[in-house]
Every structure is written in structure tokens, then in C-alpha cells.
Amino acid sequence: MPVLGFGTYQIEDLEVCERSVADALRTGYRLVDTAAGYENEEAVGRAIEASDVPREEVFVTTKLWIQDAGYESTKRAFERSLDRLGLDYLDLYLIHQPFGDVHGSWRAMEDLYDEDVVRAIGVSNFDPDRLVDLIVQNEVVPAVNQIETHPFYQRTDDAAFLSEYGIQHESWGPFAEGRNDLFEHDVLVSIGERYGKSAAQVVLRWLLQRGIVAIPKSVHEERIVENFDVFDFELRVEDMNSIAELNESKSLFGDHRDPEFVRQLSNVRANT
């Protein structure tokens, strides 16, 4: 699994999505992340097919939405995602949210894994207690947990837990969608100036040095290129410590243990 990928959340215009994924592949990204709930799998698939990059060199992730939770419905949803992507296998399939019949979904995903139509299976937005429940009740340990992780919500305890179980920590929302003025934040900008890098590049480098996979999103080619240019410098210990002090230890987008947030998410119906 590449350590740096391209995210497609909220790229709802399919032409823009296809162009952006094509730009990312041309730049050098080899991990592309999508989801049934994003409703852009078709565009991602077209960009991959049109690319000069061989299919086996592209690590493709998609996700199962809540409404399709359960054993049989997961099997059907997986086939629909494959069809929309125009692929005959996936590199990673994730349970998008920890709600609904996740155990039924996981058993279906274990079968898909055994059938070698998906190379790895994992989860997204699972807190440690939900992960342990999934692990002890099933056979395959999730390969990945994709969770909100950025300088203002650093997930240090989660990272330690995931490491203990050999689960790869993957960050969604690495830039916090620009909240808390991330791109102009004094600490991040000042660190970047020492390396000739932007605040965004500092954030990505910080994640990579923590062993966390990042999937930044942009629809602007110059930003797509900039976000990939993070392999020629290394943050010093004092820089890592300065960023650690930005942690607010809470989500900027929603608490998966808040009943109202759970209710809202579970009422979302994607065109899957």
C-alpha cells in the first residue's frame, strides 16, 4: 500500500473527478481512494482505464456504505462497485462506517478476500472498542483503519492501538478541510519556511513520519503536484514536537459515539 495517495471525497462533478484522478496518476500517485457513498466510482474507473499506468501498479480503495451493511447486501454492493470502477478486483475494500450489520458485512468481505477478488479488507471510522469487537468475533484482522487524522486531531492513542494489532493507520481529512486556518497556521507555515515547503506539505510529511498513510484531495493540478512533493525533506524532532502541541483531541466533523451524529449518518442514502 503506497504511503501517499489521492482522495476523491466531495469531488461530485464526475468530469472534474476524472480529470483530477488522471492528474494524480500522471503526477505519480499510485493509491486512489473512493467510496460508493462518494458517487464518483465511475469517474475514478475511467481515469484509471485511460491512464498509461498499468492496473497492477494502482492501489484502488473503495468503501461499503451503511445502507448496504449485511452479508448478502455487501456481496451485491461489492459487485456494483467493481462494475462502476470497471475493474475485476480491488486492492482494498473498507466498511465505511461502524454502523448497521458490520459483522455480516465483515463475513462477506472475508469471503471476498478468500476468493481473491479483493487483496485486503479493512474499516473506516472505527474506534478501538468497535475494532476489538470485530477482531474477536471474526477470523481476519482488518488491514487498515481509515480515520480522521490531522494536526488538530492527532489520534495518538488510536495510533498506538492500531500498531499493537498490526492495523495500518490511514488519515482521511489530513488538512482538516482547511479548518482552524490550517493552510495559514503560523506554526505550520513557519516550519514550512525552513524547508521551502507549504503548510500542507508539512502536514503530509508529519503524517508520513508517524507511519500514517495520507490521502489528500485537490481538484487543482498545481496542488495535486505540490502535495506529492514531500519526499525530499524530513521534519526535525523539534518540528514534530511543535505540531504535537496543536492537538485538540477532538473531531472537527462529528463524534461517532454521539447518538445524534449516528442517527444523521445512518439516514444518509447514497446512490449505491
Catalytic residues: 38
CB 54 within 8 A of CB 84: no
Cα–Cα distance between 27 and 73 in angstroms, integer? 36
CB 162 within 8 A of CB 122: no
Amino acid at 91: D
CB 52 within 8 A of CB 59: no
How far is C-alpha 96 from the geometric centre of its chain's CA atoms? Answer: 10
The four Cα atoms 168, 174, 179, 184 give a dihedral, to 10 degrees, of: 140
CB 126 within 8 A of CB 145: yes
CB 187 within 8 A of CB 242: yes
DSSP per-residue string spanning 102-128: HHHHHHHHHHHHHTTSBS-EEEES--H
Q: Which three cell numbers stand for residue 86?
A: 470497471
Angle subtended at Cα 108 by Cα 257 and Cα 41, rounded to the nearest 5 degrees: 75
At residue 21, φ and ψ (nearest 5 deg) are -65, -40
- CB hemisphere CA count around 238 (13 angstroms): 4
